[in-house]
Amino acid sequence: MKALIYSGNEDMLEGFKQGHAFNSAKPATYTQGDDDRGTWLLIEDQEPGDNQTYELSEQGLVHTDTGVEI
């Protein structure tokens, strides 16, 4: 499965990445970058499921789209 997470706050996104890596039972690959929507984090793992896109803010993690497009 692939999960793409956007955030306007790079430090918050880094914290999310560290928390995900710490709590994940399965290994994942993390890729980070920037585009016109902000900083993004792509998490790829071998878990079954649909690819999803989220936005991370101080209010929490919000699902924005089914599918991942960078």
**pLDDT tens digit string along 10-67?**
999 999 999 998 988 788 999 999 988 889 999 998 888 889 999 999 999 999 988 7
Cα–Cα nearest to 6, from 17, 19, 20, 21: 17
Ramachandran angles phi, psi of 61, nearest 5°: -100, 125
pTM comes to 0.85
What was the pLDDT predicted at 28? 92
In this prediction, residue 70 carries a pLDDT of 58
Let me know: does 28 contact 17? Beta carbons within 8 Å: no
Q: Give pLDDT, residue 31.
A: 95
- Identify which of 19, 20, 42, 11 has the alpha carbon closest to the alpha carbon of residue 29: 42
pLDDT-based confidence at 3, cuts 50/70/90? very high
